Amino acid sequence: MRIKKLITPELVEELLNKTEYNEQDSHDDDHVRKVVLDYYDASITDDWNTSVDFHIYEETTADGYTVYIATYDDRNINVAENVHYYDNDLGKELTQAITEGCNIYISDMHEFYVQDSIRELYLTLAEKKEEEITIELIDQGYEETKTT
């Protein structure tokens, strides 16, 4: 009788912990940022003089209101598409630019949306890695456990 090799959550986690998506490093913001940016071949800078593909920065209107600009071309701003009154959509803009492999300028790297976007992308990549591990285990003769 052949002993079944089963794929368990513990086995997948053990193998995942041998990758860049391990539990310990997942709490290190610098590690998470590096993994995400390397995966998408993107970069983020707060140096305005750097040649970049995408810009996210804060501006002040003539009457003193703060607005946020997210654009591929900082010399040709489309008010309807590139100007945001609130910063809550900037995370989506940043996520898209990262996944497109852009070199990105962000005026304030410490805004919550920056780390939130990177963290979400990291979690997505970790889930993708878990799926890859499961497929590799199946290819090695392991069977998935049945859930009821």
- Residue bearing the bigger pLDDT, 74 or 125: 125
The confidence score (pLDDT) of residue 1 equals: 54
Residue owning tokens 């492999």? 101
Classify 76 as helix, strand or coil: coil
Q: Which structure tokens are listed for 135? A: 């497929």
Please compute the mean of the pLDDT values over residues 55-73 and round it to a whole number. Answer: 94
- For position 24, what pLDDT does the model report? 87
Residue 148 is predicted with a pLDDT of 54
Q: What is the pLDDT of residues 71-115, one digit of tens each?
A: 999 889 999 999 999 888 999 999 999 999 999 999 999 999 999
What is the tens place of the pLDDT at every residue in 6-51? 888 888 999 998 999 988 888 899 999 999 999 999 999 999 877 8
User: Do 103 and 45 form a contact (C-beta atoms < 8 A)?
Assistant: yes
The model's pTM: 0.87
